[in-house]
Amino acid sequence: MIYEIHLYVPKTGKLTPAMIEWLYDNGQRRDHPELFWPVKRLKTKALARHMLRLDPTLIPVQAPGDDIELHYPNDNMGIVLYLHDRGIILFFPMMAYSVYSRVVLGICYTYIRYLYDAAGFWSYDPQLNVLSYADDFQSIEDTAVLMDRIVPRLLASG
């Protein structure tokens, strides 16, 4: 069970629900002119170098095409930043509330806050359907509560 948060740099300075909808409908297509894209094109290698300056322990892995994965060095944490030409998808395990889950969430939201401050990334949490310019303590708490509610049900039904 993987949780994901999508990060984008909106061209207008603000990410909107309409932009997210357009990205979900058209994000895999490459035939749209740059003018139509609501988010900036990213240089994945430069972005990866930037993230490695923040956290030099991240392990870069070549993904398909020009995409790059940055893995947190502790495999038990399960944190992966997937960098593609239009954004970043932050993956981490969905787990029931615990001290361990708070550590994972704290690391992830540190990356999110850094990306907002350094490059203007906004985040979209599809599980909570929440857009944010920089996730804060309330977002961490909302994510923890969601995982605490869902994970026990998923484990019981599996």
For residue 123, what are the domain limits?
Answer: 2-157
Overall number of domains in the chain: 1
- The pairing of strands 80-84 and 87-93 is antiparallel
> Which of the residue ranges 93-97, 102-106, 139-143 has the most confident prediction, judged by mean pLDDT?
102-106
Both tokens of 5, joined, read 């948060």
Look at residue 157 in the predicted model and tell me its pLDDT: 61
Residues 115 and 9 sit within 8 Å (Cβ to Cβ): no
> Looking at the predicted structure, is the pLDDT value of residue 137 above 60?
no
Residues 48 and 70 sit within 8 Å (Cβ to Cβ): yes
Query: pTM for the complete prediction?
Result: 0.84
The band of 48, judged by pLDDT with boundaries at 50, 70 and 90, is: very high
CATH code, domain with 138: 3.30.310
